[in-house]
Amino acid sequence: MEIVSVNTAGDHDTTKENAKHKVLRSEQIQPVHVRSDYKPANPADFEYLEAAISHMLKKFNIKGASAAVVKDGRLVYARGFGYADADAEEPVRPQHLFRIASVSKLITATAIMKMAELNLLDIDDQVFGKNGILNDSIYLDYIDKRVEDITVRHLLNHSAGWSRRYGDPMNMHHTIARTMGIDVGDVNLPERLLYTLNQPLHFEPGSRTSYSNIGYAILGKIIEAATGMDYEAFTRQVILLPLGINEMRIGKSLLQDRFENEVRYYDLAEFQNNNLLDYNNNPRAYGGNDIETLGAAGGWIASPVDILKLVVAIDSLSGPPDILSTESIRLMTDTRFSGGHPIGWAGSDGRGNWWRTGTLAGTSALVMRQNDGISWAVFFNSSTGKGIHFPAIVQNELTTALNNIAQWPDNDLFYHFDVSPLVYPDLADLR
């Protein structure tokens, strides 16, 4: 596997034109397997945690879940609950992949911060306009001159000037199709971005924050423009593979395209025939969101073990070395420096507790980094009716359960989650 070189002066190497032939493709990814000597954590050590998750599955009629816990950089717990596929009665295993929705933003933000450290961009670089990173002719047709004031930082901290006052462009499939006179199946990211640029900004860039999916989708395009590589390929090669995360990838929208080792998603009964993309009347969980187009904003699939491998590399805690500098991590998590909203993370309480949530039809995800050396992640494959409020319920239940653990195991289960041999990239090639 070869990683494409980048000229940090601005012009890209000619080998970038063939980058799509040089990256690790999805079909080349081999499923993670667990070493034969793997011994799961002693259930007695985590009885409160297991009781809490089992209770939530029963109370909210959730088909399956997967949870993992890290203590002081060591993976001390990883277990699946319920069914990955209820019809086939296939149980959830720790290595099963789940849609993680907006937890994807943490991955994208980490990639951008690493690019800044490698001098591939500056987070205060202009995004649009003739001198912007996205200065292709298709992005120069905007109606609000203030668009030229948007920087990478504004996209990272949700202060670029867009709000969801008139809807979220990442979900406005039919509106965009009607406006642009195209079929709804042809509404991809470029169309969503062009639609957005032809609307006035809702506020001055940098003046306040408003959560923006389109902003993080644009960050994916920035990664491609600045590196000459596909967003997914760059992120995998520069961030994930060096951490031993092999199987994470951008998911697919439809059931028939579900990846090997990916769970099945279950929505509420009233949404079984409510498909926004009109894909053959499939349920909302399989077509209600365009997972591929969500991409950098919400398209990744992963296991809790995968995500915690990333978290321990950006947590400023003892354990494995961080892949980002202390300054970059502080910028991501301290709102005094980030501009009013954490970068990548959904929240930070100022006491060293950070969290990231994600919700889509048929899935919910929560990742926590606590100030006491404990980090954890739990993913679900069913809608609950609580929507974006469900993670708060999960956080309360699991934090209480983990606080009841008096004696922590001293083993490290990270060792047991193996990946197929790969040639990891040398980051020096990108300097």
Please report the domains of the chain, with CATH numbers, ordered by start residue: 40-430 (3.40.710.10)
Digit-coded pLDDT (tens) for 178-231: 999 999 889 999 999 999 999 999 999 999 999 999 999 999 999 999 999 999
DSSP state of 13: P
Is residue 420 scored above 70 in pLDDT? no
| Among 182, 129, 178, 125, CA closest to 151 | 125
Strand 300-302 to 98-99 pairing: antiparallel
Output the pLDDT for position 87.
Answer: 94
Name the pLDDT band for 18 (thresholds 50, 70, 90): very low
Is residue 35 scored above 60 in pLDDT? no
Q: What is the average pLDDT across 316-337?
A: 93
| Among 297, 301, 232, CA closest to 32 | 301
Is residue 271 scored above 90 in pLDDT? no
Output the pLDDT for position 273.
Answer: 55
Segment of 11-25, 273-287, 302-316 carrying the highest mean pLDDT? 302-316
Output the pLDDT for position 426.
Answer: 43
Name the pLDDT band for 40 (thresholds 50, 70, 90): low
Residue owning tokens 């919910």: 364
Strand 74-85 to 90-91 pairing: antiparallel
CA distance 28 to 367: 28
Of the two residues 8 and 41, the one the predictor is more confident about is 41
Q: What is the average pLDDT across 33-51?
A: 72
Is residue 68 scored above 90 in pLDDT? yes
User: How many CB atoms lie under 10 A from the CB of residue 425?
Assistant: 19
Of the two residues 28 and 66, the one the predictor is more confident about is 66
